[in-house]
Amino acid sequence: MTLLEQREKLIAKLPKSQQAERRHQIELSDIKVAKMRTRLKVHFDDLGLEQSMDALGYMCEKHGDQIRKNGEQYIAHPLSMACMFQCLKIKNDDIFATLLLHDVIEESAPADVRLLTSEVAKLAEDLPVGATVKAAVRLMTLSRAYLGESDYEMKLRYFQQLIDEDKPENKIATIGKGLDRWNNITTMTELSKRAIRKNVLETSILLLPVLKKAKTKWPREANVLFLVRSNIKSMNNILAVYNGITNLHDEAELKKLIEDKTYLQELT
For residues 41 and 44, give the distance between their C-alpha atoms in angstroms, rounded to a whole number: 5
* Tens-digit pLDDT profile for residues 137-191: 999 999 999 999 999 999 999 999 999 999 999 999 999 999 999 999 998 888 8
The domain spans of the chain are 1-147, 150-268
- pTM of structure: 0.95
Answer yes or no: are the C-beta atoms of 116 and 141 closer than 8 Å.
no
Options 1.10.1740, 1.10.3210, 1.10.8, 3.30.70; CATH of 1-147: 1.10.3210
C-alpha 104/C-alpha 172 separation (Å) is: 16
Phi then psi for residue 116, to 5 deg, are -80, 155
Q: Can you tell me the distance from the alpha carbon of 67 to that of 199, in angstroms, rounded to the nearest whole number? A: 20
CA-nearest of 188, 186, 185, 190 to 22 is 190
DSSP strands (E only) in the chain: none
Q: What is the mean pLDDT of residues 24-42?
A: 96
**Is the predicted pLDDT of residue 216 greater than 90, yes or no?**
yes
At 24, the amino acid letter reads H
